[in-house]
Structure 1
Amino acid sequence: MEKTALLTGFVVMSLGSLALYAKGPKSNAVRHHTQIHSLVPFIAATSYLAMYLGTMVLTRQDGVTLYLPRYADWLFTTPLLLAGLVALALHEHPRQGGYLVAIIGLDALMIVTGLLSAISFDGTVRLVWFLWSCAAFAGVYAILWGPLRQRSASYGGALDEAYRKNTTQLSVVWLAYPVVFALGPEGFGTISSAASVWIILILDVVAKVVYGYVAGERLKAAEPELQRREERRLA
């Protein structure tokens, strides 16, 4: 069952990457967003291929299977998705380094501490790392819905609408990941390893392929506004 899910993930992510690049907008103003959204499932496809082949798939002392490529995937893909949101929130404003570094730093900390939780055999240590990972996760949300949302709202227009809708969609989907982690074999073991792999696959498809397509359509609607800003910046 798990092998089937992993192979399915590789195929879906590979095809999704190609489709997103083929269908995404490619004008100078939004081309980098298309590149980001098509790269994300390509990285995920690499992760699923590694897991299917058994590369860096380890077994914890209590027999729980640990899929380490999954964490490598998240360490690359979530910062890319966040970078796209930061660019939207600040409407391509060049002075975005502080927000970008802060949110990616918190995101990376969330993933690394999540991995520390997964590999910890002691239940108390595992819980501590999980809660610390959730704290970093809350920090990511605080930046997305705090200063970045305020900056985006102050500009208004189609770009603000795209930021609000994209952030809402990702925020809802991403909330499910720590829940699945907590209930899965790495956490309390409420659901089986196979069920966990299938659920995360579905979440990955929604967060990386479906989101990439929908975000691309929203960017098409905001493309005239982005184009005007690009022209003013280069003038």
Structure 2
Amino acid sequence: MPMMFWLTRSTADQWLGVLMLLFVVWLRRPAVPTRTARVVAAGPVICGAAYCLLASGHGWVYLPVADDPTLLRDFYLVRYLDWIVVVPITLFAVLSIALTDSAERDREWLKLVGPCTGMTVSAALYAFAWDPVIKTLLYVVFFGFSIVLALGVGRIFREQAEADNVHFKKLRRDMRFLAGLWTCYHVTLLLGSDGLRWFLPSVTTANFENLDFALTVAYPFVALSRVGRTREAEEKARHHAETLETGPGTIMLRPSHGRLGRGRPRATPA
């Protein structure tokens, strides 16, 4: 399929994803924190804007081909600038799903944002370079930052899975899903039109479009729905436990909302 089709579809997918995420946040309010919802929705908004710019014919330049400098290739600069901004945001969203304590989440994000930024910047430089030696060195740097980031995120999910027996299988499934996405990004970058050129530019763009949608929309949509249901169940269990602690026969006072005696306390058994 032509390149323009994939770029236009990517724009529509990302902005449709914003509506999907806002819907699940509205459906699970107030179980999903407002800050988490805003950060999660920011990813597809920025990604959709980048794809829209590319679809309009802007944000890309011609660069020499690595194995034949006399040939030129399309380099989608906005795609990699988008990664530098969106991937740390997506990392925050992933940690918000794995960690319920906001202070711990912020602390872990600050630890991993450095390797995350190093990974995206080295990926952009790898795609930009055309000298084979420099390109190889940059891919090694990119792969090193990726390993550090993967180990950090894997450690967090593994610790949470071991500490939470109820959601052990779901957290382990999240780990496998994210590891699969991580592998697919590496393969597409290495073999795509900015790497060894085993994939056509349209195939590379299609792969990146599907991976971006899975990472910024599909996974947060499913995971936020699960987090919302989990927190709602925990809140109901806590409320039920507090009610049982009051003991049988305890009288609780609550205001009446009838037409007569508005605002007067009404005794009801607990």
Structure 2 CA distance for partners of 1:226 and 1:17, relative to 1, 3 Å = farther
Structure with the bigger RCO (C-alpha within 8 Å, sep 6+) is 1
Alignment-derived partner of residue 3 in structure 1? 4
Structure 1 position 213, deviation (Å): 1.9
Tell me whether 133-142 or 149-158 shows the greater mean CA deviation. Answer: 149-158
Looking at secondary structure, tell me which structure has more strand per residue.
Answer: 2
| C-alpha separation in 2, matches of 1:36 and 1:166 | 19
Pick from 48, 52, 55: which aligns with 1:49? 52
Q: Which amino acid in the other structure matches residue 5 of structure 2?
A: T
8 Å Cα contact 1:13-1:44 kept in structure 2: yes
Q: Percent identity?
A: 19
**Ranges in structure 1 where 5+ consecutive residues have no aligned partner:** none
| C-alpha separation in 1, matches of 2:78 and 2:98 | 30
Structure 1 position 160, deviation (Å): 5.7
| C-alpha separation in 2, matches of 1:55 and 1:179 | 26
**Partner secondary structure for residue 130 of structure 2:** coil
| C-alpha separation in 1, matches of 2:224 and 2:194 | 34
**Ranges in structure 2 where 5+ consecutive residues have no aligned partner:** 66-71, 240-270
CA RMSD of aligned residues (A): 2.5
Structure 1 position 60, deviation (Å): 0.8
May I ask how many residue pairs the two structures share in their alignment? Answer: 230
Alignment-derived partner of residue 138 in structure 2? 129
Bigger Cα Rg: 2
Structure 2 CA distance for partners of 1:226 and 1:70, relative to 1, 3 Å = farther
Looking at secondary structure, tell me which structure has more helix per residue.
Answer: 1
Q: Which amino acid in the other structure matches residue 120 of structure 1?
A: A
| C-alpha separation in 1, matches of 2:153 and 2:82 | 21
Structure 1 position 162, deviation (Å): 5.1
Q: Report 1:13-162 matches (<5 A).
A: 13-24=14-25, 25-31=27-33, 32-62=35-65, 63-146=72-155, 148-157=156-165
Q: Report 1:127-206 matches (<5 A).
A: 127-146=136-155, 148-157=156-165, 163-206=171-214
| C-alpha separation in 2, matches of 1:51 and 1:19 | 23
| C-alpha separation in 2, matches of 1:48 and 1:112 | 19
Structure 1 position 217, deviation (Å): 2.3
Structure 2 CA distance for partners of 1:210 and 1:187, relative to 1, 3 Å = same
**Partner secondary structure for residue 27 of structure 1:** coil
Alignment-derived partner of residue 232 in structure 2? 224
Alignment-derived partner of residue 256 in structure 2? none
8 Å Cα contact 1:10-1:49 kept in structure 2: yes
Q: State the TM-score, normalizing by the size of structure 2.
A: 0.76
